[in-house]
Structure 1
Amino acid sequence: MEKRILLPLLLCFVAGFNEVVSAQDFSTLDQYLDSVAVHDKFMGNLLIAHDGEVIYERSIGFQDIDSGEELTSTSRLRIGSITKMFTTALVLKNVEEGKLSLDQPLSDFYPEVKNAEKITISNLLQHRSGIHNFTNDEVYMTYYQSAQNEGSMVEKIVAAGSDFEPDSKGEYSNSNFVLLTYILEKVNQSFYSALIKDNIASPLKLNSTYVGKSPLKDEAKSYQFVEGKWVLEPFTDMSVPAGAGAVVSTSEDLLRFIEGLFAGKIISQESLELMKEIKDGYGRGMFQYPYAEKKFYGHTGGIDGFRSLIGYFPNEKLTIVTLSNGLNFNSNDITIAMLHSYFGHEVSIPSFTTVELSEEEIDQYVGEYSSEQIPLVFTFERQGKVLIAKPSGQQDTPLDAKGNHTFEFSMAGAIFEFDLAKGEMTLKQGGASITFKRN
């Protein structure tokens, strides 16, 4: 349940260094996170575990700023799309029990969905259905805080139609997992929340993992950093994301979940292999991520101001969890720092220095820029002494001036370099470099 910012990127980790594994020293990681905390770049919980044992854990910031209640390792946060791993495990468990089949057509449940007779349960799990992603539409922002039910959500999904022929490619869609939620409820004659509790949370003793409700109770709130302070984010009604993003959990519960999943405590090893099977970048409810020559499996998540990651390295028996309820930085950099620290590689302390420009200096960059490389238009405006980037179809983004005609949006790892003489702006993000011309 996440709205992508700027270029749609998955995690991309640095490769090319030699293996170094020794007794872990997390002192530099602590310095790194001290800097992140002092500069209001991150609030949340971080965890590293080996073979089920927690070897590093850190909490930064508050779960409720107004009350002054600080985050702890037991704080409960919304985990967003990591929920899809739970939903997939339930589906595959139902397949093992003969209640569902991966080849079963969606038309058995929702014939009104376009191409339903061509879409299988497997297509839904692997984002190959072609069903339009309802969270991509502007109208989503008009109802995401309001309670929904099966009828209202299916109606929205049906009305949005299809983006491509089923099984012709992979493309992320939360609609797939909302439909899977209702299918699970139908075949089990039980609420999704009860299925999570009875089949995953209770057996694995995940005492702080459940399907969220509104309003929040005894959970962390989420924040956005605006004009020098953390501002409370509105809350999504959890009946909207359902099995696509409605689970609440803790870092230690997520450790037990993914270790239990890979140990065969929820589904069989054969079913786990189906989750890990990657096609066009998508597994079934799971992604594969690179770290140097290694690989790990897991999922990211984002809902309201919450951002999350869970990952498991099968060969190294290593688990990493990041749960954030306030982010003003590129969370991918934090993940890399954690992994570098564990594997004994250099961790560079980030610099958050900025320069102050006059209104006249900022006015040089104001205007509309488009590119022949991608269908994205940037409009830059000045608000006081801050340059605001307005990417088409996305939220307004304040940029930090770094000097030498360069600006940064650290939360997305994006650098904007202006060439005033040529009337150009170059966006650098995730290894990509895209040139935009001033219109």
Structure 2
Amino acid sequence: MKFRNVFLKWAVGGLIILLVAAGGWLGCTQYSLNQQSRQLAHVQGELRSAKRAIRYQAMVSRLREDTIRQFEKNHGNQDKLVAVSKNPAVNQLLAALKRRRFVGTALVVKNGRTIYHRGFGYANFAKRRRNTANSAFLINSILKSLTGAMLMQEVGKGKLKVSDKLSKFYPKIKGAQQITLHQMLEMTSGLFETRWPKTVTTENQLLSYVTKHAYFQSQQVGRFNYQPVNFIILAGVLKKVTGQSYYELFNRRIIQKYHLQQTGFLPTLTHIYNGAIGYGGTLNVRNYRKVNHFTAAGITNQLGVGDVYMSTGDLYRIERRLVTGRLTSPALTALQTTPVNSNGIYSGGLYKLRSGIGFYGHGLGNFYEDSLAISNNGQDAVVLLSNYFEARTMKIYSGVPVALQTLDKLVEN
């Protein structure tokens, strides 16, 4: 009897051990299967992401190739050189440009007519190609004004409102529920960005990175702080609302619709005949030894904020349409360019002149400097696009004060 009880206990214990072992084996098997399933899903996700990246890069390449073909097609249809003018505003401008040893192209428009248009220095020193009335330059941050205009086009269609909270589109960004799109247009959102991708990204990858690393300072809401991240995210809002790539939108709504002759996307700037290469140096020396080289990651980080090139003529024509309401409407232009903060002067990519006579825009980077001053009616304007400007050493030679002084004199006369 005693032996029987021991045997039963041993049998039950063995059975329990067997069941536990079997359960453990089944658990391990299930865990392994789950791991394999997750790994498979990850691999499939990576493949889908890679395919999307390939399709995206193919689209961008196609658009860039299209802009090169467009540029070459219109090579004979160019703005004319106007090298002589008796207008005192032009004489004042030329004296200032000479003092600054300006390299680039200058355009002056009075009463809607070009009264001066000429290139200075070299667009490509190695090939001895000089800047002309049709040279193309990186416009840097002036692009923000066109990003703002495309956003306002969606406002006009009723797809969004400038009073919408950022959380409507990007709820995971810290502080998004406190930030309006209008505050982003005028750079008073309290959003900052100090980290940027170091590798080439698609639009989705850049937006994912930027929205993840953007940080929010609530005490800065309502205070102007120039942070390009605002407009990169606004480019993402455009993509969410339209379902289209920023590049596709810009190509269709800006380049093609308004028949811009000398406009396109980086990095084709250095591949076109009239493309001006950026050079850096010191205040008084123009030896063209310090050459800008665009990095692939640096280009893709400029989504909606600085990766477009234009000639002076193209930039004037499209900005004239913007300030006169012909890109959207007069009411929407006023909404885009009027800061929520009554003391502010920046909104929608342009600075409003305190004199009330018009606007100015400024771009800076990669050894290019861009200065635009334009009257409210678009009839008077000064455009200075330079491809020899290193901010660290040449900042006091900025073209903005010169452009503004020239515009003042144009409007006076």
* TM-score, length basis structure 1: 0.64
Correspondent of 1:68 among 125, 128, 131: 128
Give matches, 1:139-288, under 5 Å. Answer: 140=196, 143=198, 146-147=200-201, 149-165=203-219, 167-213=221-267, 216-218=270-272, 219-225=275-281, 228=285, 229-230=287-288, 231-236=290-295, 237-278=298-339, 279=341, 280-288=344-352
**1:24 partner amino acid:** N
What is the percentage of aligned positions where both structures have the same residue?
23
Query: 1:24 — aligned with what?
Result: 87
Letter in 1 for 2:116: Y
- Structure 1 pair 197/70, CA: closer, same or farther in 2 (3 Å)? same
Counterpart Cα distance in 1 of 2:157 and 2:220: 26
**Aligned match of 2:150:** 90
- The residue that corresponds to 1:401 in the other structure is none
SS of the aligned residue for 1:49 comes to strand
Whichever residue aligns with residue 200 of structure 1, its letter is I
State whether structure 2 residue 106 is matched by structure 1 residue 46.
Answer: yes
The question of whether the paired residues in 2 share the 8 Å contact of 1:104 and 1:121 is answered with yes
Indicate the residue corresponding to 2:9 in structure 1: none
CA shift digits 1:22-72 (9 cap, x unpaired): 9614345434434443xxxx2111111123211112211111111111111
| Alignment counterpart, residue 310 of structure 1, candidates 372, 375, 378 | 372
Report the Cα distance in structure 1 between the residues aligned to 2:380 and 2:175, rounded to whole angstroms: 41
Larger mean Cα displacement after TM superposition, 121-130 or 249-258: 121-130
- Among 143, 168, 171, the residue aligned to 1:111: 171
Offset at residue 214 of structure 1 (A): 6.0
* Superposition deviation, residue 261 in structure 1: 1.7
Amino acid at match of 1:249: M
1:153 CA drift (Å): 4.4
Whether the 8 Å contact between 2:312 and 2:384 is mirrored in structure 1 is: yes
Instruction: Report deviation, 1:296.
Output: 2.1
Q: Comparing both structures, which one devotes a greater share of its residues to strand?
A: 1
RMSD: 2.8
2:400 to 308, 332, 338: 332
Q: Distance in 2 between matches of 1:232 and 1:315?
A: 38
Where structure 1 has 5 or more consecutive residues not aligned to the other structure, the ranges are 1-21, 346-439
Instruction: Confirm or deny: 8 A CA contact 2:235 2:303 kept in the other structure.
Output: yes
Cα shift readout 1:224-282 (whole Å, capped 9, x = no counterpart)? 11595331023253321111112211100111112212333210111011123132332
> 1:154-174: per-residue Cα shift (whole Å, max 9, x none)?
324432411334743222110
Matched, 1:289 2:353: yes
Pair member with larger Rg: 2
Q: Structure 2: which amino acid aligns with 1:68?
A: R
**Counterpart contact for 2:104–2:384, Cα < 8 Å:** yes
Q: Is the 8 A contact 1:45 1:251 kept in 2?
A: yes
Distance in 2, matches of 1:116 and 1:315, equals 36
In the alignment, residue 247 of structure 2 is paired with which amino acid?
A: S
For structure 2, list consecutive stretches of 5 or more residues without a partner in the other structure.
1-84
Q: Distance in 1 between matches of 2:330 and 2:411?
A: 28
Distance 1:272 1:128 in 2: 19
Higher helix share: 2
Per-residue deviation, 1:90:
0.2
Task: Name whichever of 279-288 and 268-277 sits farther off.
Answer: 279-288
2:163 counterpart of 1:100: no
* Pair 309,330 (structure 1): closer, same or farther in 2 beyond 3 Å: closer
* Secondary structure, aligned partner of 1:112: coil
CA contact 1:214–1:238 (8 Å) conserved in 2: no
Q: What aligned pairs does 1:326-405 form with structure 2 within 5 A after superposition?
A: 326-327=388-389, 328=394, 329-335=397-403, 338-339=406-407, 342=410
Asked if the contact 1:46–1:57 (Cα under 8 Å) also holds between the matched residues in 2, the reply is: yes
Matches of 2:135 and 2:323 in 1, distance apart?
Answer: 25
Structure 1 residue 116, shift from structure 2 partner: 1.2
Q: TM-score if structure 2 supplies the norm length?
A: 0.68
CA contact (8 A) 1:115 1:166 kept: no
